[in-house]
Amino acid sequence: MTKTVFNRRGFLKGSVAITGATLAMPSIARASSYPERNINVVIPTREGGGADRNFRAFSSIWKTKLGVDFEPGFFPGASGRVGYEVYMGKNDPDAYNLIFGNMGPEVLNWAMQAPSFNIDDYFYFGRVDTDPCALFVGAESNLQTMDDIIAEGKKRKLNVGTSRMAHPASIGLLSLGEVTGAQFNLIPLSGGKNTVAGAVTGEVDFSVLTSGSVIAAGDAVKTLLVFGENRVGDALDNAPSMNSVYGTDLPEMLSSRAFGIHKKAADDHPDRFETLTRTFKETFEDPALLEAYVAARGTPEYLNYGGVEDCAAFKAAMLELGAKYKALLSGA
């Protein structure tokens, strides 16, 4: 169960797989019957959370394209690290094992502290949604506009709630501080629920968070700025995007869920990987997906197809921004 065990198991499995692959070349050739059993999906957050609902809605349509079901396994802990370690260390790279992660905060983790595996040994191949981060105040806050915040932030250091330091929302805020000269002090409040509560009760001056959780907070909060495009209008109080107000060219700061796969699985089983990516894309073309999202009370505006290249670009951008702000986000 330890890191070292993960490593050792990973190594053992890896070496077994290599010898196995050389012995079993013919089996690759006749792999056209893929998939012949259900696909396991590691979800690195807890059951019942946003990723869970999102996954169920999406996989309910995808399974009709693929012909087999998806079986989620929830491995929460250490901001998603446990799930990735389990996936990379224990699950076979055979395209029957996928991971459903969040390319925003989870990739930022790697920039703060490298995991036990090589982060290029997996990649995301199917982006499901893009949920931009937003800046919001409590309904009763003295700060009711962005101008209030910037003016006050030039007088004193404002305390800003965030779900945790290594989060795209924190990066959005730090860049806002750079552009406007306002002083911000990030206060990690451990999770979206507490981040909303912090802004509402006045524990902090205001908060930043992924907008899905902000929308869920209803009229207890008021959104002032989106670190990306506001695709939902009134649900986020028609808040403008940061780039449009401050003339910046910050990439969208997103919580962005995507399916990932072992690189080895895609290399060893190109036909299987092709089946996965093709059916994944078909899922987006099916109008039933939108219905499933509306039924699950998701935010259908955030559904946003992305392929291997979109995901790779986003992963690289997160790693780059993470490296840039590492000192501020990890205290190192």
Sites of contact with another protein (CB under 8 A) = 1-4, 47-48, 53, 73-74, 76-79, 81-82, 85, 112-113, 139, 157, 159, 164-166, 185, 187-190, 193-194, 196-197, 200-204, 216-220, 296-297, 329-332
Alpha carbon separation from 255 to 112, 130, 158 (Å, rounded): 17, 6, 24
Nearer to another protein, 171 or 242 (CB): 171
> Rounded to the nearest whole angstrom, what is the least distance from the CB of residue 105 to another protein in the complex?
11
Nearer to another protein, 64 or 194 (CB): 194
Nearer to another protein, 216 or 290 (CB): 216
> Rounded to the nearest whole angstrom, what is the least distance from the CB of residue 186 to another protein in the complex?
8
**Pairing label, strands 257-262, 122-129:** antiparallel
Residues 6+ apart with CB under 8 A from 303: 128, 129, 284, 289, 290, 293
d(CA 90, CA 69): 21
Q: Which residues pair with 209 in a beta bridge?
A: 134
d(CA 142, CA 161): 16
> Rounded to the nearest whole angstrom, what is the least distance from the CB of residue 289 to another protein in the complex?
18
Q: What is the DSSP string of 58-69?
A: HHHHHHHHHSS-
Nearer to another protein, 21 or 78 (CB): 78
Nearer to another protein, 121 or 203 (CB): 203
> Rounded to the nearest whole angstrom, what is the least distance from the CB of residue 177 to another protein in the complex?
15
What 243-248 contacts at long range (C-beta under 8 Å, 24+ apart), as own/partner pairs, is 245/146, 246/176, 246/179, 246/180, 248/175, 248/179
> Rounded to the nearest whole angstrom, what is the least distance from the CB of residue 45 to another protein in the complex?
12
